[in-house]
Amino acid sequence: MDHDSPVYLHQLPVPGEERYASLALVNTRFTVSHGPVDLLDGTEAAHLWLVRHGLLPDRVALNGRQSGRLLGLREALRALFQAREAHGIPSAQDLATLNAALAAAPATPRLAWTADGPHRCDEPDAGNPAAAALSVLAEDATELLTGSEADQLTECAAQGCARWFLRSHGARRWCTTKCGNRVRAARAYAARKAR
């Protein structure tokens, strides 16, 4: 563990982030004991996040407008996740943001041939790497929202957490054991104080 980096960079990953980059994107904004944290705060931070998630080559620069689009997509995804969980209808603006990201670098179908034989693969347009990264994230979110795991998508029930995860079972309410322990400790403290 790097002891010089801020403590919030050592957040435990939540279930589902390893399979869905869009879930990891939504979880780049959260709260810790000393206040809110935004892992995409600034163009350099957004570039680093995209590089770390294999969505953008390190040598490709990210400008402020592209960083702003990434932030816009993150907020739209958060709203779409909330609408999905509440069985509601999201705003037209949030849908438009997702659909614009999907259309920014449409995928081209290709035939790939591996040791397992031929299979179809879709490659995003690489002419604009930042737009391709947004398109991949939007496609990932679309798969999450419409796929078989969509009913498992939930927001952490710990007060102030605001991270999203995929429940492994129906009784799970917290994104990590850390959040669950914090809620249980607060309940125990409140019960002792009430006596």
Q: What is the pLDDT of residues 34-85, one digit of tens each?
A: 788 899 999 999 999 999 999 999 999 999 999 999 999 999 999 999 999 9
Q: Which residue has the higher pLDDT, 161 or 49?
A: 49
pLDDT, tens digit (0-9, with 9 covering 90-100), for 101-127: 999 888 788 999 999 999 998 887 778
Cα–Cα distance, 36 to 33 (Å, whole number): 8
Q: How many helices (H) and strands (E) does the chain have?
A: 6, 6
Domains of the chain: 7-194 (1.10.3300.10)
pTM: 0.83
Tell me which of 171 and 29 has the higher pLDDT.
29
- 13 touches 23 (CB < 8 A): no
Name which residue leads in pLDDT, 120 or 171: 120
How far apart (Å, rounded) are the C-alpha atoms in residues 20 and 13? 12
Indicate the SS3 state at residue 148: coil
